[in-house]
């Protein structure tokens, strides 16, 4: 009687079962990619079509007239408003999230985990659930139609996720580096600014990009809190191309949608090229 145990036979990469599984996986990925690419194809084809409809078809004559028509002073002003709201919210979020995440990352307190769970819960709260009391507060404090006040509210709504991400990225920085700085006489704030934040630059870029994109695409908050049409961002102005009674201007809508998406695409491309492989959201998955 032998006591040796046999290991299960391993499937080679050319085994029929593995080839079938790989083919099924690629088929699913292909369908998902197609579901994403078809809307982009409609967007591009409609933007260069004279008579764009809901059909995704190649136009007989290509034209850039739609782009020329949407490049008006009001639309450019709306894009500037979006830039002010998004940059203001992203920078202010970084300034507040870094010192808030530092004690959660470096000190183990019994209230640390409940605070993290509260932050995680806050990230799932829909803004629409709290916008009515916030609107009432803005009216009472005479902050309605104020861009700085809107930036503050957008920062507050993005802070829970930003603190959560910053805390996880900060955990990756060895505390021994800070201890060496403390021995040399550096304060906690100086160690945070000179040691921790430079080493977690990729994570900081991720939080900045995430907050910027979140604010850039926010429609409901500026639509409610900014009454003056001259102060509304592009995410609200784009609504004008949907028209009334279903009479949407599809060509203008597609052209403005492409222009509206470009700042976020450019920001992501620049950050990805500058930071290279470090821009991988690796710290965001560590709880």
Taking only the tens place, the pLDDT of each residue in 43-79 is: 888 888 888 887 777 888 888 888 998 888 888 999 9
- Flag whether 242 is in a domain: yes
Q: What distances in angstroms separate CA 27 from CA 12, 14, 15, 33, one per listed residue?
A: 21, 18, 18, 10
Whether the pLDDT of residue 1 is over 50: the answer is no
For the chain, give the number of residues. 287
Structure confidence at residue 285 (pLDDT)? 43
> Using CA atoms, how far apart are residues 150 and 92, in angstroms rounded to an integer?
12
Q: Is residue 3 part of a domain?
A: no
Measuring CA to CA, how many Å separate 250 from each of 51, 135, 146, 215, 254? Answer: 8, 33, 32, 25, 6
Q: What is the pLDDT of residue 3?
A: 45
Contact call for residues 276 and 201 (beta carbons, < 8 A): no
Tell me, yes or no, whether 13 lies in a domain.
Answer: no
For residue 28, tell me if it sits in a domain: no
Q: 80-109: per-residue pLDDT in tens?
A: 999 999 999 999 999 999 888 888 888 776
Q: What angle do CA 211, 217, 221 make, to 5 degrees?
A: 90
Note whether residue 51 is domain-resident: no
Structural domain including 196 reads 66-276
Please report the pLDDT score of residue 286 as a whole number. 45
Closest CA to 232 of 244, 219, 245, 243: 219
Instruction: Give residue 246's pLDDT.
Output: 61
pLDDT score for 271? 83
Residue 284 lies in a domain: no
What is residue 276's predicted lDDT score, i.e. its pLDDT?
Answer: 61
Average pLDDT across the chain, whole number? 82
Task: Inform me whether the pLDDT recorded for 13 exceeds 80.
Answer: no
Query: Cα–chain-centroid distance for residue 160?
Result: 14
Distance CA 77, CA 230 (A): 8
Phi, psi of 126 (to 5 degrees): -70, 140
How high is the pLDDT of residue 127? Answer: 78
3-state DSSP assignment of residue 67: helix
Residue pointed to by tokens 């009687």: 1
CATH number at residue 159: 1.10.3720.10
> For residues 44 and 57, is the Cβ–Cβ distance under 8 A?
no
Domain membership of residue 241 (yes or no) is: yes
> Please, what is the Cα angle at 120 between 275 and 261, to 5 degrees?
45
Count of domains forming the chain: 1
Alpha carbon distance 101, 117 (integer Å): 13
pLDDT at 6 over 70: no
pLDDT cut 70: percent of the chain above it: 87
pLDDT at residue 152 greater than cutoff 60: yes
Q: Is residue 6 in some structural domain?
A: no
Mean pLDDT across the stretch 228-246?
81
> Among positive and negative, which fits the CA dihedral 275, 277, 278, 279?
positive
Which of 166, 165, 168, 187 lies closest to 178 in space, CA to CA? 187
Is the per-residue pLDDT at 116 higher than 50? Answer: yes
The whole-number pLDDT of residue 95 equals 92
3-state SS, residue 49: strand
Reported pTM: 0.78
Choose between 11 and 264: higher pLDDT: 264
Percent of the chain with pLDDT over 90: 20
287 has a pLDDT exceeding 70: no
Closest by Cα among 100, 219, 208, 102 to 160: 100
Residues 140-162, mean pLDDT to the nearest whole number = 91
Which residue shows structure tokens 């040796």?
A: 4
**123-147 confidence digits (pLDDT tens):** 777 777 788 888 888 999 988 889 9
């Amino acid at each position: 009687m032998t006591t040796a145990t046999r290991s299960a036979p391993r499937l080679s990469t050319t085994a029929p079962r593995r080839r079938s599984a790989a083919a099924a996986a690629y088929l699913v990925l292909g369908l998902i990619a197609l579901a994403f690419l078809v809307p982009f194809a409609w967007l591009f084809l409609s933007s260069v079509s004279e008579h764009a409809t809901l059909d995704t078809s190649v136009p007989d004559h290509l034209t850039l007239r739609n782009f020329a028509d949407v490049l008006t002073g009001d639309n450019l002003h709306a894009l500037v408003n979006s830039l002010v709201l998004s940059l203001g919210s992203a920078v202010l979020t970084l300034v507040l999230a870094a010192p808030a995440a530092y004690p959660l990352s470096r000190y183990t307190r019994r209230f640390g985990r409940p605070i993290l769970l509260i932050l995680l819960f806050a990230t799932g709260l829909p803004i629409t659930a709290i916008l009515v009391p916030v609107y009432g507060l803005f009216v009472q404090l005479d902050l309605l139609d104020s861009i700085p006040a809107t930036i503050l509210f957008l920062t507050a709504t993005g802070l829970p996720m930003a603190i959560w991400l910053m805390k996880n990225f900060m955990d990756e920085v060895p505390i021994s580096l800070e201890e060496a700085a403390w021995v040399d006489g550096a304060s906690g704030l100086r160690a945070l600014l000179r040691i921790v934040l430079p080493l977690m630059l990729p994570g900081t870029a991720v939080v900045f990009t995430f907050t910027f994109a979140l604010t850039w695409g926010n429609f409901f908050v500026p639509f409610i809190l900014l009454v003056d049409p001259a102060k509304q961002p592009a995410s609200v102005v784009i609504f004008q191309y949907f028209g009334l009674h279903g009479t949407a201007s599809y060509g203008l809508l597609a052209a403005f949608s492409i222009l509206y998406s470009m700042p976020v695409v450019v920001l992501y491309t620049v950050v990805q090229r500058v930071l290279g492989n470090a821009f991988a959201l690796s710290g965001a998955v560590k709880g």
